[in-house]
Amino acid sequence: MSAFVVSARKYRPQKFEEVVGQEHVSQTLKNALKTEHLAHAFLFCGPRGVGKTTCARILAMVINCENKSADFEPCGTCSSCVAFQHTASFNIVELDAASHNSVDHIRSLVEQVRIPPQGGNYKVFIIDEVHMLSTAAFNAFLKTLEEPPPYAIFILATTEKHKILPTILSRCQIYDFRRISVPQMVSHLKEIAAKESIIAEDTALHMIAQKADGALRDALSLFDRLVSGGRGQLTYQQVISNLNILDYEIYLKLTEALLTENIASVLTLFHDVIQKGFEPDIFLAGLTDHFRNLLVCKNQETIALLDLTDTVKDKYLEHAYMIPISYLVSALDLLNECDVHYKTARNKRLHLEMTLIKLTYLNRILHRDLHMESDEKKNSDIYAPGRLETPVVKQENVALPIIQKEPEAEVPVNKTEHAQPGEQGTSGIKKKNLIGIGPSLTHKDNIVEQVKAESHFQNGLKKTFTIEEVEKLWKLYAVECVSNSVRSVMELARLEFGDGVLRAFIGSNFGKNILLQETGIIDRMRAELNVSRLAFDVVIDPEMAQEEPQQSRPQTPQEKYDFLVQINPVVSKLVKELNLKPEE
């Protein structure tokens, strides 16, 4: 059996410059050594695995080093450094307070303090996990810590500073260690992978760093575990499989299904996650983080908060650009509420599924609330469908346009005829005349109209309407659309028409999928333009993908007012008649 040494020990820093992510501590200690203002007691506190004990050992080694470098780093070759590296130094004493926390252990340590150093100027005592000492042990140690011999230096390390007595804290110089950032951790793992001749994907190392949660020792342990089964390679899929992590692609697919109101795909994706062995609460936590990342992407100043690779970050930016902030905030609120009541729910899976259903139809819920507010203000009953209502400005937020119900018309139906799917075979049936459905074939007059439309198309489609008319109908549909995501994509699209095909150019696959699933667009075009053979296609334009992130929605009241006037000139007339200002 080979003498394998784990990476956390094999690559443990031996100098301050090798410590990862704690430059503020290293530089302060170097300055203290340089100016000879070294305290007699230090307290290193912070999360586990961030380098507290490592820095304590380096400081202890450099204090007695015989050949310090110009920047006060230990040489590693003198007798004092070599003795410490082989745990044979009489001037450096280490005590693990987790297992040596009684009064007797501290009294034994105090006896060693009385013995002067041998072959050096200082005697250093490192007490790890010092918060584990009992109250009696702290009291026995207090007098020695307050008035130690001039050659004694104490370095205490702990992960729980709040458990240490205030009388101990007041006698120490306190250094707070930070969690190591994901980029710093990835960079360190890359160096180790290169030294070990391991081919590692950046996404794989990034996922390990995220899983370690700021602790480099945990990251190195995960690295060793995954490399042992990878035969010199470390892939993203291997990390996902072995660490039992939900891939971000699952959440991106789920987001697309939610925004397109595809409830079947939403529930199927959730079922697949459960079948893979993930608990619902793990999925809930991941989905909450996912929406948080999408919300962070909505502002250029907060994008830096994402701990993601550039490739994954680009995908999040692409999706976030198509999703309204109102949806993301409401979704996070629903997920937080689900998390609060999750533990008390009897059927936890159903509890989470109900939240997913609410997220699927969240756009409709938001629209309904705004609809009710508008009805209270206007005090009206029924409006014709497809007509543009004047947008409402409330608290500097543009309200969603309102789609009202169509007055239902009586359609005579022959009792003897077989009912079509979705219809009732009784007399006096009411049938909705919805825009976007196209001419009905159940009536003779409609068949005649369809034949005329087809003949009109064959005689020359381009002569019947212009691209300006198409763009006007496109904008009207976008404003009247219930879904905010569909509206956002339609506003970004560029239209072209030729050879009987209406082409919409968009800058992302996500936008393309949304437009292709919104079948009401082309149906609306056919009905309004009185044609039946109008094809629809969506094309991805790479140049638009580069331009999209630079676009921004109106922010100031004047910008919002100009935006509303551009959509509907009636707003300008209304503002003048009511003697209002744009900010009102």
Residues 122 and 42 in one domain: yes
How much is the pLDDT for 375? 54
Q: How far apart (Å, rounded) are the C-alpha atoms in residues 396 and 290? A: 28
Q: Residues 246-270: what's their mean pLDDT? A: 89
Q: Residue 419 pLDDT > 50, yes or no?
A: no
Please answer whether residues 45 and 87 qualify as being in contact, where contact means their C-beta atoms are separated by less than 8 angstroms: no
Please answer whether residues 266 and 360 qualify as being in contact, where contact means their C-beta atoms are separated by less than 8 angstroms: yes
How much is the pLDDT for 481? 74
> How do residues 287-321 score in pLDDT, each as one tens digit?
999 999 999 888 888 888 887 877 888 888 888 88
pLDDT above 70 covers what percent of the chain? Answer: 79
Between 200 and 425, residue with greater pLDDT = 200
In a domain, 129, yes or no: yes
Q: Which of 360, 382, 413 lies at the terminal end of a domain, its last residue?
A: 360
Quote the number of domains for the chain: 4
How much is the pLDDT for 126? 92
Between 580 and 117, residue with greater pLDDT = 117
Tell me the angle at which helices 570-577 and 557-567 cross, rounded to the nearest 10 degrees.
120
Confidence of residue 577 (pLDDT cuts 50, 70, 90): confident
Burial of 104 (C-beta count, 10 Å sphere; 0-12/13-18/19+): exposed
Confidence of residue 526 (pLDDT cuts 50, 70, 90): confident
Most confidently modeled of 117-131, 402-416, 437-451?
117-131
Confidence of residue 284 (pLDDT cuts 50, 70, 90): very high
In a domain, 41, yes or no: yes
How much is the pLDDT for 2? 57
In a domain, 375, yes or no: no
Stated as kind and residue range, the H or E segment containing 564 is: helix 557-567
Any idea what the CATH number is for the domain that residue 353 is in?
Answer: 1.20.272.10
Residues 225 and 268 in one domain: no
Q: Residue 530 pLDDT > 90, yes or no?
A: no
In a domain, 215, yes or no: yes
Confidence of residue 92 (pLDDT cuts 50, 70, 90): confident
DSSP string over 464-504: T--HHHHHHHHHHHHHH-S-HHHHHHHHH-EEEEETTEEEE
Q: Residues 160-185: what's their mean pLDDT? A: 89
Q: The whole model's pTM is what?
A: 0.61
Confidence of residue 361 (pLDDT cuts 50, 70, 90): confident
In a domain, 578, yes or no: no
Residues 115 and 169 in one domain: yes
Between 375 and 292, residue with greater pLDDT = 292
Between 53 and 119, residue with greater pLDDT = 53
Q: Residue 60 pLDDT > 80, yes or no?
A: yes
> How do residues 184-226 score in pLDDT, each as one tens digit?
899 999 999 988 888 888 888 988 988 888 889 989 998 988 8
Residues 220 and 76 in one domain: no
Residues 136 and 167 in one domain: yes
Confidence of residue 45 (pLDDT cuts 50, 70, 90): very high
Q: How far apart (Å, rounded) are the C-alpha atoms in residues 55 and 16? A: 7
Any idea what the CATH number is for the domain that residue 37 is in?
Answer: 3.40.50.300
At residue 216, what are phi and psi to the nearest 5 degrees? -65, -35
Q: Residue 457 pLDDT > 60, yes or no?
A: no
Q: Which of 191, 225, 243 lies at the terminal end of a domain, its last residue?
A: 243
Q: Tokens in use for 373? A: 């507010």
In a domain, 99, yes or no: yes
Q: Residues 329-346: what's their mean pLDDT? A: 91
Q: What residues make up the domain containing 226?
A: 182-243
Q: Tokens in use for 184? A: 């710093």
Any idea what the CATH number is for the domain that residue 465 is in?
Answer: 3.30.300.180
Residues 131 and 167 in one domain: yes
How much is the pLDDT for 567? 67
Confidence of residue 350 (pLDDT cuts 50, 70, 90): very high
Any idea what the CATH number is for the domain that residue 196 is in?
Answer: 1.10.8.60
Q: Which of 360, 395, 415 lies at the terminal end of a domain, its last residue?
A: 360
What are the CA-CA distances from residue 448 to residues 55, 93, 284, 420, 531 (Å)?
Answer: 88, 100, 55, 20, 13
In a domain, 409, yes or no: no
- Least confident window among 41-45, 48-52, 71-75, 454-458: 454-458
Q: Which of 83, 9, 100, 19 is nearest to 56 (CA)?
A: 19
Please answer whether residues 334 and 355 qualify as being in contact, where contact means their C-beta atoms are separated by less than 8 angstroms: yes
Confidence of residue 387 (pLDDT cuts 50, 70, 90): very low
How much is the pLDDT for 477? 80
At residue 143, what are phi and psi to the nearest 5 degrees? -65, -40
Residues 55 and 167 in one domain: yes
Mean pLDDT of the chain: 77
pLDDT above 90 covers what percent of the chain? Answer: 12
How much is the pLDDT for 436? 31
How much is the pLDDT for 89? 81
Residues 111 and 233 in one domain: no
Q: Residues 536-561: what's their mean pLDDT? A: 66
As a whole number of Å, the end-to-end CA separation of the chain is: 79
Residues 270 and 132 in one domain: no
Residues 456 and 503 in one domain: yes
> How do residues 3-24 score in pLDDT, each as one tens digit?
678 888 888 888 888 888 888 9
How much is the pLDDT for 121? 82
How much is the pLDDT for 7? 86
In a domain, 582, yes or no: no
Residues 38 and 141 in one domain: yes
- Least confident window among 41-55, 173-187, 188-202, 228-242: 228-242
Residues 17 and 142 in one domain: yes
Confidence of residue 374 (pLDDT cuts 50, 70, 90): low
